[in-house]
Structure 1
Amino acid sequence: MSSSSILIIDDEPDNFDAIEALLSSESYQLHYASCGEDAISALEKFAPDVILLDVMMPSLDGFEVCRRIKLMSQWQGVPIIMVTALSGKEDLARCLAAGADDFVNKPVNGLELRARVNSMLRIKKQSDRIQSFSKLQRNNIHSLANNLNEIRLDLAVGFPNEFNSPLSILSDNIGHLKQNIEHLSLPATLQLLESSERSVSNLHTLTQKFWFYLKLIVDTPTPNHTDRSIPKFIFEAILTTRSAQLPKPNHHTCEVEDVTLAVNVDLAEWIFNELLDYVLDRYQANLFLKIHGQVIDNAFHLSLSSLQLNNQTASSSEISSFIQFNTPTDENPELAIGLKIVKKIVEIYDGIFLMSSGDRDEITFYLTLPLVPNSLPTIAEQLAVNTVSHQS
């Protein structure tokens, strides 16, 4: 632990020697300035925890030096002990009026000096803790204000459009039923009810995403060393589950390296599910779906593209060059709720999230996520260790 810094300001070097002798039993760093001007200019260099200031000095007296230091915001919290031969009440009142925190009379008593210095150092430590806490609170308030502004902007610009679509369908269906209930056939009525049911389901999904997004903004999770996920395994599971939704086998590929990400598995699943959802919702029969993930420069790079093909037998090299040509270079400021969640999760892990949209429903997502450091075990290694321990 570093020792406390004491700055002694006195025009008489002998007085400094005397104070140095009185404080020799303490492990303080003692600094000396022979005048107020030198002391003020050297505050940054000495960074004092306590200042011992002589009152009677030429040029700037101790009262003026004290006032000037206390006017400097960076040094207001540093206690100043006035060292003075003056003992009248008016003189002591002047010390306090100048901003002094304490004073000792000359000739200085060693026991009294050490006690007052120790007392001021305790006050300084308490002041530092308060300042640190205050700074932390200001940062938290600033962060919360930014989060609230982000939520307010989303509520004002993006989210209403997403909620309005299923609400409009529900409203139109209900209005149509009320006006034509007596003339509608059973199949037409069932069709309207099925359409309304889908809108209710969409609203339920949007609401869930909305609350999850708010949670990410207000209570952002912190990455930790236990975060693990395998993108290849997650994509294979998703594609198997959604095989009925996928395009023909020769119209999609999934090439993802077998690596372990330093990303919470639930959040990783959310990212990949949401990106695939967004693409499949807009998928057309003449599009080619390509999922490609690989390690570049110690990070996992994923591209998920829905590409327009002039013919169904385009070569792999043609597809690769098309993806490179369409690599996203800018972020879309009006992302849907689900994509805002993806963007937020990627930001939590200090990754990059980009999106580009071309003509005819062509979409490309590009993102990066961190890998598990080499010094930490992967999921496979952890499972192997657990298996051996269990068998033992």
Structure 2
Amino acid sequence: MNNQHSILVIDDEPDNFDVVETLLDSENYELHYAPTGKQAIDCLNSFQPDVILLDVMMPDLDGMEVCRQIKSDPQWQALPIIMVTALTAKEDLAKCIAAGADDFISKPVNGVELRARIHSMLRIKQQYDKLQTLLNLREDMVNMIVHDLRNPLTSIVISNEILRFPGLSPEKHQDKTDKITLAAQQMQSLIDNLLVVAKLESSKMDLNCIEVDLCALCISALADIEAIALQKKLNLVSELPDPGGMVKVDVPIFRRVLDNLLSNAIKFSPSNSQVTLKAEYLTTGAKLQVVDSGSGVPQNLRQSIFEKYEIGTRMPEVSQIGLGLAFCKMAIEAHHGTITVEDHHPKGTIFTIFLPSV
């Protein structure tokens, strides 16, 4: 990714651009030049500037009109514009601000002042970009949550309507009842994850850690996921230590971590394949692994998938809100542990949890 900031200089005098280029030589900016306001406006999408240095006194379109036209476009309203002017009267400077300028600098341009004002505008632009990213993320998150809640809710409504039909066979009745139960569990899991993530992020959740048998904990998690695995014709395999070994965890939170990892493994594994839960004791703690035979996680996404609402491989037929792994990471780190992901050869993914000693 290119982190170099782009500066667009709009000035009818090429010599003035040379002066700016010299004054900013040490800043590693990507500089662009436009000799007229019209040319600059026409090429904004090509330049994609982070800041504009705009001369006021230009033929044809003067700087104030250029500023007004740029700021009238919603795409560029947040783009900082620094007016470069020989005007000194307060009324003229007020007109620059009224035209939409964010700052101004007087000619002859001083290098220290120029660099300071550009730094200030870049800082404001970065803050705006971060806020815009958060707003877009929030919108995407709301859409994903609505989508992921709508699917199980639709299943509940349809199954409930079918149960009203007279003469429904016992087998069909049981099938629809099971679908309602599963859909309700999916909705509850999503809501619980949202609430717990919010508490973990705000540091308002105190873990209630107790010593528990690791083997028993894993067997319980596998038993709860078995029915879903059978529906997809997946073979659940356990490679667990002998009972009696203890780990210190918040049981409901840690169980949800295991549930999320196992559910993900089932989602992304093809039918008639295998999902494995491994656990072992180390001298420094305990290690757990969930191994699947799915499409895997690309190398460049192995950190970002643990961020909220980030998705590794989009699969249209699979519900993916991008929250489960973020929850897992926060929950494991709250236990002072780590969670990582790596390839499972020849195909699939291995998620590894390390918990330090009790």
What TM-score does the superposition give when structure 2 sets the normalisation length? 0.53
Matched residue type, 1:62:
G
Is contact 1:144-1:218 (8 Å) kept? no
The question of 1:347 aligning with 2:318 is answered yes
Is contact 1:163-1:206 (8 Å) kept? no
CA-based RMSD: 4.1
Aligned residue in 2 for 1:104: 105
* CA spacing shift, 1:265–1:38, aligned 2, 3 Å: farther
The question of 1:212 aligning with 2:212 is answered no
How many angstroms apart in 2 are the aligned matches of 1:265 and 1:345?
Answer: 26
How many angstroms apart in 2 are the aligned matches of 1:120 and 1:152?
Answer: 48
User: How do 1:63-102 and structure 2 match up within 5 A?
Assistant: 63-102=64-103
Matched residue type, 1:45:
S
Aligned residue in 1 for 2:120: 119
How many angstroms apart in 1 are the aligned matches of 2:152 and 2:179?
Answer: 15
- Paired residue secondary structure (1:57): coil
User: How do 1:174-323 and structure 2 match up within 5 A?
Assistant: 208-215=181-188, 269-274=226-231, 300-302=270-272
- Paired residue secondary structure (1:347): coil
> Cα deviation per residue 1:255-308 (whole Å; 9 max; x = unaligned)?
xxxxxxxxx9678733343478xxxxxxxxxxxxxxxxxxxxxx84559xxxxx
Per-residue deviation at 1:108? 1.1
Gaps of 5+ in 2: 195-220, 234-268, 274-314, 321-342, 353-358
Per-residue deviation at 1:161? 2.5
Aligned residue in 2 for 1:37: 38
How many angstroms apart in 2 are the aligned matches of 1:145 and 1:348?
Answer: 11
Is contact 1:147-1:218 (8 Å) kept? no
Is contact 1:267-1:345 (8 Å) kept? no
Aligned residue in 2 for 1:328: none
* CA spacing shift, 1:8–1:219, aligned 2, 3 Å: farther
Aligned residue in 2 for 1:374: 346
Per-residue deviation at 1:25? 2.1
Matched residue type, 1:213:
Q
How many angstroms apart in 1 are the aligned matches of 2:191 and 2:316?
Answer: 13
How many angstroms apart in 1 are the aligned matches of 2:348 and 2:146?
Answer: 37
How many angstroms apart in 2 are the aligned matches of 1:7 and 1:14?
Answer: 15
Per-residue deviation at 1:90? 1.9
How many angstroms apart in 2 are the aligned matches of 1:39 and 1:218?
Answer: 49
How many angstroms apart in 1 are the aligned matches of 2:189 and 2:105?
Answer: 56
- Paired residue secondary structure (1:146): helix
How many angstroms apart in 2 are the aligned matches of 1:66 and 1:151?
Answer: 51
Aligned residue in 1 for 2:58: 57
Matched residue type, 1:271:
I
The question of 1:14 aligning with 2:4 is answered no
- Paired residue secondary structure (2:82): strand
* CA spacing shift, 1:372–1:212, aligned 2, 3 Å: farther
How many angstroms apart in 1 are the aligned matches of 2:150 and 2:93?
Answer: 52
How many angstroms apart in 2 are the aligned matches of 1:9 and 1:46?
Answer: 12
Matched residue type, 1:160:
N
How many angstroms apart in 2 are the aligned matches of 1:99 and 1:69?
Answer: 9
How many angstroms apart in 2 are the aligned matches of 1:113 and 1:105?
Answer: 10
The question of 1:161 aligning with 2:118 is answered no
- Paired residue secondary structure (1:32): strand
> Cα deviation per residue 1:16-50 (whole Å; 9 max; x = unaligned)?
11111111221111111000111111112211111
How many angstroms apart in 1 are the aligned matches of 2:148 and 2:180?
Answer: 19
Aligned residue in 2 for 1:25: 26
What TM-score does the superposition give when structure 1 sets the normalisation length? 0.49
> Cα deviation per residue 1:146-171 (whole Å; 9 max; x = unaligned)?
33444554454x032255479x99xx
Is contact 1:9-1:53 (8 Å) kept? yes
* CA spacing shift, 1:98–1:162, aligned 2, 3 Å: same
Per-residue deviation at 1:73? 2.4
* CA spacing shift, 1:269–1:373, aligned 2, 3 Å: farther
Per-residue deviation at 1:99? 1.1
Give aligned pairs, total: 226
* Greater than 6 Å deviation, 4+ residue runs: 200-204, 264-268, 375-379
Gaps of 5+ in 1: 170-194, 222-263, 277-298, 304-343, 350-370, 383-392
